[in-house]
């Protein structure tokens, strides 16, 4: 429901709404359902618990749209510490970074230096940096950044592509031609119909098209969705063309459809859980609310009870 998403995200941007929700802090069950905690120690404990149950993870230090180069440097440093901690613990974990957290909006060169620092460290540790895709005003710069570093760091980098954008048709071709590892998502931001499909049916159809192309011709695809119909299509198609876990994995968000995560894991499928943590949880949290009316109703119920 793109209109619901636009409405929720517009309301969530109002300073008084943010104040109201943030003051209720991380103690609200509806927040802790989606966010693993505020500290790296809490996120590592969640990653360990998930690993013990057979899940791989990707850890996202929440933050975006930093205002100064110093904040971008601090985020990069924290991510470097996270990569080292994951490596020390031998966890099957990647990191997920948002380009605007590394300074993309301030200066693309700065973001490139920061991302390169993480890519170099990931290469040295035998790990991977997954680059999240943000709103459409950043798509071109994010892809330029990714393409430039991919030539040196190859599979130590992975890029998210959003099925709801019209332009993704062409970006999938580029990804196939250049051997990029792709995380395929539907897209979580409020976008106008000039750049993104305005209906859920059209987004789902685009997702299926891109998924089949990536499974057949791509380097690797992380099928990042909780959509059961698409998951069925993905598994069926992979079986039919004879590709296995060397070519794909399923990815789902922490706190979303845990039953489905378990079901896939029990069926022997590779599942990676996206684990967000940190103090800057508000924008991420509002995108989760905007995906599902029931989440918003649940939040309102909890705020009223306070
Ligand atoms: P859809 O919205 O059709 O939902 C299918 C079903 O999943 C629903 O019926 C419901 O059961 C369940 N569900 C979905 N969202 C839920 C929620 N918030 N709460 C409870 N249940 C929910 N986006 C982006 O723009 N850039 C990115 O980099 C990423 N990265 C990313 C990584 C991973 C691992 C995942 C799973 C998703 C992303 N996304 C993302 C988010 C993505 O674009 C999309 O908004 C969400 O995955 C929701 O869409 P679904 O594909 O699940 O389908």
Tens place of pLDDT for every residue, the chain, 306 residues? Answer: 678 888 888 888 888 778 877 776 656 677 888 999 999 999 999 999 999 999 999 999 999 999 999 999 999 999 999 999 999 999 999 999 999 999 999 999 999 999 999 999 999 999 999 999 999 999 999 999 999 999 999 999 999 999 999 999 999 999 999 999 999 999 999 999 999 999 999 999 999 999 999 999 999 999 999 999 999 999 999 999 999 989 999 999 999 999 999 999 999 999 999 999 999 888 898 898 888 878 777 777 776 665
User: pTM of this prediction?
Assistant: 0.95
Residues 17 and 110 in one domain: no
Residues 194 and 296 in one domain: no
Residues 211 and 126 in one domain: yes
Residues 154 and 49 in one domain: yes
DSSP state at residue 300: H
The pLDDT of residue 25 is 63
Residue numbers of the domain that contains 60: 35-280
Contacts of 215 (CB under 8 A, 6+ apart): 221, 234, 237, 238, 241, 243, 247, 248
Which residue has the CA at smallest separation from atom 7 of ligand 1? 226
Residues 119 and 209 in one domain: yes
Residues 196 and 223 in one domain: yes
For residues 66 and 71, what is the distance between their CA atoms, to the nearest angstrom? 6
Q: Is the ipTM of this complex over 0.85?
A: yes
Residues 61 and 141 in one domain: yes
The pLDDT of residue 10 is 84
Q: Which of 32, 35, 225, 283 to mutate to test the pocket of ligand 1 (most atoms within 8 A of CB)?
A: 225
Residues 43 and 70 in one domain: yes
For residues 15 and 195, what is the distance between their CA atoms, to the nearest angstrom? 27
Which residue has the CA at smallest separation from atom 1 of ligand 1? 227
Contacts of 132 (CB under 8 A, 6+ apart): 60, 96, 97, 98, 99, 160
Residues 144 and 201 in one domain: yes
Residues 164 and 270 in one domain: yes
CB-based pocket (< 6 A), ligand 1:
132-133, 160, 162, 185-189, 224-227, 251-253, 256-257, 274, 288, 291-292, 295
Residues 297 and 154 in one domain: no
Cα angle vertex 29, ends 28, 30, to 5°? Answer: 90
Residues 53 and 173 in one domain: yes
Phi, psi of 283 (to 5 degrees): -60, -40
For tokens 């979303």, name the residue: 256
Q: Which helix (H) or strand (E) holds 148?
A: helix 139-153
Q: How many domains does the chain have?
A: 2
CB neighbour burial string for 162-176, b if at least 16 within 10 angstroms, e if fewer: bbbbeebeebbeebb
The pLDDT of residue 300 is 77
Nearest atom, ligand 1, residue 135 CA? 25
Which residue has the CA at smallest separation from atom 38 of ligand 1? 185
Phi, psi of 276 (to 5 degrees): -90, 145
CATH of the domain at 241: 3.20.20.220
For residues 91 and 236, what is the distance between their CA atoms, to the nearest angstrom? 30
């Amino acid at each position: 429901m793109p209109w619901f998403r636009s409405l929720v995200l517009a309301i969530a941007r109002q300073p008084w709404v943010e104040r109201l929700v943030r003051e209720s802090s991380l103690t609200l069950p509806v927040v802790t359902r989606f966010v693993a905690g505020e500290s790296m120690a809490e996120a590592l404990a969640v990653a360990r618990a998930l690993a013990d149950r057979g899940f791989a993870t990707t850890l996202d230090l929440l933050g975006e749209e930093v205002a100064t180069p110093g904040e971008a440097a601090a985020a990069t440093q924290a991510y470097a510490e996270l990569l080292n901690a994951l490596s020390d613990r031998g966890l099957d974990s990647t990191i997920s970074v948002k380009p605007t957290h590394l300074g993309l909006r301030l200066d693309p060169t700065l973001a490139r230096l920061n991302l390169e620092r993480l890519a170099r460290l990931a290469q040295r540790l035998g790990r991977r940096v997954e680059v999240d895709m943000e709103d459409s005003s950043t798509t071109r710069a994010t892809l330029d950044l990714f393409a430039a570093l991919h030539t040196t760091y190859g599979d130590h980098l992975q890029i998210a592509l959003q099925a709801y954008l019209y332009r993704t048709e062409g970006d999938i071709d580029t990804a196939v031609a250049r051997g990029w590892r792709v995380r395929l998502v539907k897209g979580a931001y409020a976008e106008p119909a000039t750049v993104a499909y305005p209906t859920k049916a059209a987004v789902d159809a685009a997702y299926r098209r891109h998924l089949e192309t990536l499974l057949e011709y791509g380097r690797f695809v992380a099928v990042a969705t909780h959509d059961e119909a698409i998951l069925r299509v993905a598994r069926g198609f992979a079986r039919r063309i004879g590709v296995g876990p060397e070519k794909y994995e399923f990815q789902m968000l922490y706190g979303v459809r845990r039953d489905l995560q378990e079901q896939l894991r029990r069926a022997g499928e590779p599942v990676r859980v996206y684990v967000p943590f940190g103090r800057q949880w508000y924008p991420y949290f509002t995108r989760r609310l905007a995906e599902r009316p029931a989440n918003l109703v649940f939040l309102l119920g909890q705020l009223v009870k306070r």
